[in-house]
């Protein structure tokens, strides 16, 4: 991969990562409820899903998904259903209590954050179709594909971690003070729950 191609890849990754979506909403929600540092586990889960997407495209399965309306619809509705589930769970979540009670509450396990981030990104068939169009622009078939795929995956992951953790998660930090009170928790849970449901609606109805 030449420097010119890599710089084009880098720019494309930055633009893609800054585009708000379910991953950004999940990251901000985690930063609010678990703190900025622990939100990294969710971000890492999202990166694992991105790796799976690239592997799927490289293996040719992505082409099968893009050409099979039934398979695409199944994955699409499964992804939307999972986002709706997350949204409703947030909306119905009971506030943890005031500051004295919050000080003693248990933290969500890192694996739980990782797993949710993974499924949020994985259950998005449009991501597979996107990578199907995105990846060939930066992979030369006349050269060994493995080093090129490793560079592509590494670039995508590093950029996305930096954007998700240092931009979206950091952007949520000023609102964390509202989680110290039951009313603030309820409002923020409702806002992010509605955002998850809204993204699910886009996934289902915007083609």
Local confidence pLDDT in tens for the 207 residues of the chain: 678 888 888 888 887 788 778 888 889 889 988 888 999 999 999 999 999 988 888 887 766 766 778 877 887 788 788 888 888 887 887 766 544 444 445 578 999 999 999 998 888 776 777 787 777 778 777 788 888 889 989 999 999 999 999 998 998 888 777 666 677 778 777 887 888 788 777 767 755
Q: How far is it, in rounded angstroms, from Cα 74 to Cα 78?
A: 6
> How many CA atoms, within 13 angstroms, populate the side-chain half-sphere of residue 168?
25
Please give the pLDDT value at position 195: 81
Please report how the helices 145-163 and 3-18 are oriented relative to each other, as an axis angle in degrees rounded to 10.
40
Please give the pLDDT value at position 173: 80
Q: How far is it, in rounded angstroms, from Cα 155 to Cα 24?
A: 18
CB-based contact 17:134 (threshold 8 Å): no
Q: How far is it, in rounded angstroms, from Cα 156 to Cα 16?
A: 9
Please give the pLDDT value at position 179: 65
Tokens matching residue 107: 């933290």
- Residue positions counted in the chain: 207
Burial of residue 32 (CB within 10 Å: 0-12, 13-18, 19+) is buried
Q: How far is it, in rounded angstroms, from Cα 59 to Cα 56?
A: 5
Please give the pLDDT value at position 104: 45
Please give the pLDDT value at position 39: 92
Q: What is the model's pTM?
A: 0.78
Show me where the domains of the chain are located. 26-205
Q: How far is it, in rounded angstroms, from Cα 86 to Cα 80?
A: 10
């Amino acid at each position: 991969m030449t420097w010119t191609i890599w710089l084009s890849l880098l720019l494309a990754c930055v633009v893609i990562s800054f585009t708000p979506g379910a991953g950004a909403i999940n990251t901000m929600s985690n930063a609010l409820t678990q703190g900025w540092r622990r939100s990294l586990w969710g971000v890492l889960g999202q990166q694992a899903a991105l790796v799976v997407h690239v592997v799927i495209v490289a293996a040719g399965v992505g082409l099968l998904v893009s050409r099979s309306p039934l398979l695409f619809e199944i994955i699409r509705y499964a992804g939307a259903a999972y986002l709706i589930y997350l949204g409703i769970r947030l909306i119905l979540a009971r506030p943890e209590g005031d500051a004295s009670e919050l000080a003693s509450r248990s933290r969500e396990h890192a694996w739980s954050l990782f797993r949710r981030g993974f499924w949020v990104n994985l259950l998005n068939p449009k991501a597979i179709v996107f990578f199907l169009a995105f990846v060939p622009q930066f992979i030369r078939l006349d050269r060994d594909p493995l080093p090129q795929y490793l560079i592509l995956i590494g670039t995508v992951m590093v950029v996305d971690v930096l954007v998700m953790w240092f931009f979206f998660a950091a952007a949520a930090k000023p609102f964390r003070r509202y989680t110290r009170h039951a009313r603030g928790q309820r409002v923020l849970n409702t806002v992010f729950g509605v955002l998850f449901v809204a993204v699910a609606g886009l996934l289902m109805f915007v083609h």
